Structure 1
Amino acid sequence: MNFKQIPNNFIYVFILIFLMGCTAKPTAEQEVEESEEELIARALEIHDRVLTVDTHADTPLRMIEPGFDMSVRHDPNETGSKVDYPRMKEGGLDAIFFATFVAQDIRDDDGNSRAKALCLQMIDSVVASTERNSDVVGLALDPDDAYELEKEGKRAIYIGIENGYPIGTDVSNVELYYNKGVRYITLVHSSNNDIADSATDSEGPEHGGISELGAEVVKEMNRLGIMVDVSHGDDSVFYDAIALSKAPIIASHSNARSVTDHKRNMTDEMLKLMAENGGVVQLTMLSSYLRDIPANPKRDSAVAALRANMKPTSEMTDDERSAARQAFNEIDEMYPNPSANVKHVVDHIDHIVKVAGINHVGIGCDFDGGGGIDGIFDASEVMNITIELVRRGYTEEQIQKIWGGNLIRVFREVQAVAEELKS
C-alpha cells in the first residue's frame, strides 16, 4: 500500500485506533477472575470488619427454660436452639436484640398481669445472662455500646419486646420496660391487642390501625427513646405509625411483598414511605416470607383437618395451645415445605435497595422464633449473607450499612428525638 496516497485524516484515525488498542483495559475474558475461595475469603474479611447487628431473636423464651445455658454451644438439630454466645462468635455476629415475646392471650386485668410478669421474667433472664457471661457479652443500652463492646471483643446484647400486650392498658409500663433496658417494642403480634391491629388476626382489623391507647404508647416511646417496631402490624398500623411517630420507625423482621406476596411483608409504597421517614426494614429468615410456598396438597389437607377440630386460640388453655403447636410441628415434619435459601434473602435486599435505597434495609433473622433457612440455619451461619452480598457486587460500605449501620443510625435518631422532647 502507498501511504502517500492516503489522506492525512485517515492516517490519524489509524494511529488513534492503534494507540487505543495498546492502552485499552483487558476484556472480561482477559481479566484474572476471582476464584470462589478468594471471594469467600474477601467476604469474610469484610464481615469481620463491619459491625453486624441482628435485630430480632426470640431467644429469651429459651433463656427462661430451666438449665438452658447461653455459654454452651447447642446443636440446633437436637435442641431446636438457634442462638447462643459461642455460635454468635462463630458467625461473626457482633450484636443482637433479644426480643421478649409474650403470645397474645385474654385482654383483661388478669391476662395483662400474667403477660407483664412473663415479660419481666424474660428481661431479667437476659440481664442475668449478660452478668454471668460478662467475659464474652455485655448488656447494651445505647447505639454506641455495640461498637464499644466490639472493641473489647464482646458481643452486644440489646433487649426488645415483641408484642405490646405486656403494656396492657397502663402506659406507665412503657417507662418501666425502658428502665429495664428495652429499646424497641413491636406494637402487636399475630392477633390484635389493645394497642394495634395485627396483619394476621383471623377476625380482621379491630381499631383501624393504632388505637387511641396505642397512640399514647407511641408518644411515650418517642419521649423515652424506644424504637417503634411495626413488624406483624396490619398495613394501617404502618401508616398510623409513620403519621404518629416523631422519630423514624423500624420493621424489626419483615420482607418485601413484591418479591413474596405475604401479609407480613411490606408493599413498595410502604418501602418508599419508610425511606421518606428515615426508617429501616430488617430482612428476616422465614421461608414463607422469602419465597412463594410450593404446592403441598397433603400438608394442606392435614392442616385443614387439624384446624377444623381446633378451638379459637383465645379460648385455648395453655396445655391446649401447647398440644396444638405440637400437632402443627408433626405435620411440618411429615409434609415439609422446601426451605428458602440465602439467595432468596438477597433477592429481597436487592428489591428493597432498588425501591427504598441502600440506607433503609438491615437484618433481623427471627432465630428461635421460626427463623432459619438453608445456609442461614442458626447464628453460626449468618456470614453467608455477607458472602452472597459480595457475590452480587455490594461494596464494603454498602454491606456495613445493611449489617448494622442503618439500624444504628435510626437508633441514634430516635434517641435524639427523645432528647429534644425532654428539653
Structure 2
Amino acid sequence: MNLSKNQVLSLSIVLLSFIVNGCTLSNKKLPPSPKVTQEQQQKALTPEEIHEKVLTIDGHIDWPYRQFRYPDFQPNIRHQPGELDSGQWDIVRMEEGGLDAVFMAIFTVQKERNQQGHDRAKAEAIKMIEITKKMVESNSEKIELALNPEDAERLDKMGKMAIFMGMENGYPIGKDISNVKFFYDQGIRYITITHFKNNELGDSSTDEKQEWDGLSVLGEKVVKEMNRLGIMVDISHVHDDTFWDVIKLTKAPVIASHSSARSLENHPRNMSDEMLKAVKENGGVVQVCIFDTYIKKLPQTAERKKAMKTIEKEITAFRQGKLSQAKTEVLKQKYRQINEKYPKNQPTIADVVDHIDYMVKVMGINHVGIGSDLDGGGGVLGMNDVSEMPNITKELVARGYTEEDIQKIWAGNLIRVFSEAQKVAREIQNQEISGK
C-alpha cells in the first residue's frame, strides 16, 4: 500500500496526538441523546445504575508510555482535563468514570530495525512494565495487577480496580521468539503484531509499502507461540494481508484492541465488513477505538489548515524521530495554541456509538467491545478522559441496548475471548506433554 503525502502527514498528526492528547478541550456541548419512554424508565435501571452494575473494561489505554515520557506525572491524584500534560487517565478519574478494569498498553516507538534498535525497544518495554507495576504497588488499596480473566470480577467484588497489561507493537520481540515467553512472564496478556510501521513480524496498515505480504515467517511462529502461552493476538494496526494470515493461522479467537468500522470511516486502521465477519467466525472481539481520526473525519476551517501547514515540517521530523525533546516541547505548545485558536471540529459520543451499532449489525452483539486508546488518542466530544466513560453507557441505553447487551460490550465479550485464549493454551500444552 502506497500512502500519499497527505496521508503520511495525517499519520504524523495522529502520532503527535499520541503525545499531546488531553491538552485541549472544546467548550462545545454534546447534543442531547434520544430519551427512553416513561414505560421504559419505570421498568429499567437508569443508565447510571446500569453503568455502576455492569463490569466495565477499557481494552486499551496508553498511560505507560505517557508516564515513561513524563515521569513527574502523578497517577494517584486527579488531573484537570485540558491542562498541559494532564493526560486522559489517572486512578481518580478512572474511579469517577466507573471503570472496573483497563488494559495498559506497553507501547514502544519504532526506530531502527537492527539488534541495537530491538534491544532499546525491549529495555523501554521492560521499563514501562516496571513503571506500571510500581504504580499498582503504590496504590494497592485501590488497584491490583491482573493476569487472568477471572481477576477482573474478583477484584471488582473486592472493591478494587484491575490493571491488565498488553503490548502495543511486536517490535520489542525483535528476531528472538523467546521474547514472547519473556513478556508473558512479565504479565503481558495481548500483543499487537505491528504499529504504524512494518516490523519483523509483519506488515502494518499504515506503512508506505508492504514488506512481507502479510505475516513474516517469524510472525507466523510468534502467533503460534502466543496461542501456546495464552496471549491474545491483537490485529489492530496490521495490514489487511497480515490480518488474513493471522485469521488462517490462529487457533484462538483474536482481538482488535482498538479499531473501528471502515465502512463508516474509510481509514486503513479500521476494519472492513469482510474482516469484521471473519472475526465473528473466529469467535473474536473488535473493540471500538474512541479516536476522532478513526471515528469520523470532519472538514476543518481554512484558518486551521493554514496554521497546521506552518508546523508540517516539524511534524514530519517528529514522526521520523529526528526532533529533540526540547523542540518537541516547543512543537507541542504550537500545536496546542493552534487548537485553542482554531478548534478542531470533533465527532461526538453518538458517532462512536454509530460504530458500535454498525459492528453489532455486521458481527452480532457477542463480538464488539471498547478499547478507547485514551492517552494515545481522544478528540471526541464527551470523551475528554476516562471520567466520562458513563457517556457511552448513556448513549447505548438511549438506543435501546439492554443491560445484558451493555455488559457484553463493556466486558463480557473480551473476558470470553481472554478465557478461550487460555483454554487453547492449556490444550496445546497438554498435547505437548502427551506427545501428540
TM-score w.r.t. the length of structure 1 is 0.87
Please tell me whether residue 400 in structure 1 is matched to residue 407 in structure 2.
yes
How far did 1:244 drift? 1.5
- Structure 2 equivalent of residue 368 of structure 1: 375
| Cα deviation, residue 111, structure 1 | 0.9
Q: Counterparts of 2:54 and 2:379 in 1: how far apart (Å)?
A: 22
Q: Give the whole-Å Cα distance in 2 for the aligned partners of 1:311 and 1:61.
A: 20
User: Where does residue 55 of structure 1 map in the other structure?
Assistant: 59
Offset at residue 371 of structure 1 (A):
2.2
- Counting only pairs closer than 5 Å after superposition, residues 142-181 of structure 1 correspond to structure 2 as 142-181=148-187
Question: 1:241 Cα deviation (Å)?
Answer: 1.1
Give the deviation of 1:33 after TM superposition. Answer: 3.8
Match of residue 101, structure 1, among 85, 103, 107: 107
1:365, distance to aligned residue in structure 2 (A): 0.6
Tell me how far 1:336 sits from its aligned partner.
Answer: 3.3
- Structure 1, 33-42 or 384-393: larger mean CA deviation: 33-42
Match of 2:49 among 45, 50, 62: 45
Corresponding residue SS for 2:59:
strand
How many residue pairs match? The answer is 391
| 1:213 alignment partner, one of 214, 218, 228 | 218
Q: 1:343 to 1:38 in 2, by over 3 A?
A: farther
Q: CA deviation at 1:236?
A: 1.2
What's the CA shift for 1:422? 0.3
| Greater alpha carbon shift after TM alignment, 283-292 vs 393-402 | 283-292
Structure 1 residue 296 displacement after superposition: 3.6
Aligned to 1:18: none
2:142 matched residue in structure 1: 136
Distance 2:97 2:74 in 1: 18
> Does structure 1 conserve the Cα–Cα contact (< 8 Å) formed by 2:298 and 2:346?
no
Offset of residue 328 of structure 1: 5.0
The CA distance in 2 between the partners of 1:75 and 1:35, in whole Å, is: 39
**Mean Cα displacement is larger for which, 34-43 or 376-385?**
34-43
Distance of 1:150 and 1:312 partners within structure 2: 41
Kindly state the Cα deviation for residue 267 of structure 1 after the two structures are TM-superposed.
Answer: 0.7
Q: Distance in 2 between matches of 1:321 and 1:283?
A: 33
Q: Provide the C-alpha distance between the structure 2 equivalents of 1:206 and 1:375, rounded to a whole number of angstroms.
A: 39
Aligned pair partner of 2:199 in 189, 193, 196: 193
**Matched letter for residue 116 of structure 1:** K
Q: Please report the TM-score for the alignment, with normalisation by the length of structure 2.
A: 0.84
Q: The residue matched to 2:278 in structure 1 has which SS?
A: helix
Gaps of 5+ in 1: 1-31
**Contact between 1:168 and 1:194, CA under 8 Å: does it hold in 2?**
yes
Q: How far apart are 1:360 and its partner, in Å? A: 0.6
Greater CA deviation, 78-87 or 388-397?
Answer: 78-87
1:340 aligns with 2:344: no
Distance 1:164 1:349, change over 3 A: same
Q: Which amino acid aligns with 1:291?
A: K
Asked if structure 2 preserves the Cα contact closer than 8 Å seen for 1:365 and 1:372, the reply is no
Distance 1:224 1:347 in 2: 35
For the structure 1 residues 330 and 228, does the alpha-carbon distance in structure 2 shift closer, same or farther, using more than 3 Å as the test?
A: farther
| Greater Cα shift, 82-91 or 367-376 | 367-376
The secondary structure found in structure 2 opposite 1:76 is: coil
Amino acid at match of 2:251: K
Q: What is the CA distance between 1:293 and its match in structure 2?
A: 2.4
Match of residue 409 from structure 1: 416
CA contact (8 A) 2:289 2:373 kept: yes
Q: Which moved more, 1:302-311 or 1:404-413?
A: 302-311
Q: For 1:9-408, what aligned pairs fall within 5 Å after superposition?
A: 33-34=37-38, 42-64=46-68, 65-78=70-83, 79-201=85-207, 203-304=208-309, 306-307=311-312, 310-311=316-317, 313-314=319-320, 316=322, 318-319=324-325, 322=328, 326=332, 328=335, 331-408=338-415
Distance 1:38 1:187 in 2: 47
**1:7 corresponds to:** none
Aligned to 1:422: 429
Distance 1:113 1:321, change over 3 A: farther
Q: Say whether the 8 Å CA contact 2:191–2:232 is kept in structure 1.
A: yes
CA shift, 1:329, in A, is: 5.0
- Which 5+ residue runs of structure 2 have no aligned equivalent? 1-35, 431-436
**1:146 offset after TM fit, Å?**
0.3
CA distance in 2, matches of 1:117, 1:61: 13
Secondary structure of the equivalent of 2:422? helix
> Aligned equivalents of 1:403 and 1:378: distance in 2?
17
Whether the 8 Å CA contact 1:70–1:84 is kept in 2: the answer is: yes
Instruction: Give the distance between the partners of 2:129 and 2:137, measured in 1 at CA.
Output: 13
Q: Which has the higher contact order (CA 8 A, sep 6+)?
A: 2
1:337 deviation in Å?
A: 2.1
> Which range moves more in the overlay, 403-412 or 204-213?
204-213
**Take 1:405 and 1:417, find their aligned partners in 2: how far apart are those partners?**
18
Q: Per-residue CA shift, 1:105-144, capped at 9, x if unaligned?
A: 1111111111111100000111111111111001000000
The Cα RMSD (Å) is 2.3
Give CA-to-partner distance per residue, 1:4-50, whole Å, 9 cap, x none.
Answer: xxxxxxxxxxxxxxxxxxxxxxxxxxxx9439998997111111111
